[in-house]
Chains A and B, each alone.
Chain A
């Protein structure tokens, strides 16, 4: 099923996030000086300009901020699941930290496993991780189930 699914290209800024996912942990970058969370990850804190940072494990709980239901035409690897959902989740720790993901019925189910018409903004969700790819190439994507 992963043939043609797009996977992230890990870079200096993003690698710790994806490493966290592989370890089954949702990690968010936090400033080493002022402590504020930021996402997507970047080298400098926009509030105090510090390069120092930590990767904090967060609870992996949040709420649906918005969602869409894509239909054809799509890349073939996605079109076979269409219509599926894509959600944006705001984290419990800081609702201005938002992540794009998918609501799935369970960590083993595909991105069309939830009836899209049952999704509502504000619904509580929690993170799960789905491992895609093989060996060195493997990446774990965070997805979300109803909390």
Chain B
């Protein structure tokens, strides 16, 4: 049982000309077992929403609340949020030179579980999660994301999702830049994650393509820092046909 509840979230970034408001009141509730798709044009604030949930220091929450099972997420540090059960698959995963994937994954798993994973099963689990996402065992010895192709970085994010088993996953344009085979691989990874029916997924995407493989329960159209429209999966089909124009024009 877990619920991520976002209420009237306002977020600014600081610019040379002072604070600039990017999220202008976002309200959204993700219950366990639910997959929500957020779709919107570039620059509408999708990544801002994802990073704000994860606690990136660049984003200032000026108003609103975010809670996970009633706990105040905004009061938590970045790592506390992850340990509370939140996971962000980043649009642009960061390279960490000199830190091996194996070491990174073990350290993360230990931090999240509060104890080191059992040696005997862990290596198997890692190899399985990597393998299922199309990354061979040699990736374990490489530096985190360093020299990975765009697709490999995204698949590595989903392998982490599978290993760390958070309560709620926020996936920021995990589909962008993937060819169709890689898209299927990551979609299967996300579906494996949510298959138990007790996980929440916030799937942020620019395109409808991934929704052929991951079935959302709800679709939200995100424009200019707000949710402009919500509906079921049929809303995605409508967006596919009509694009964002009518929402963008209405927002200006």
A interacts with B:
no
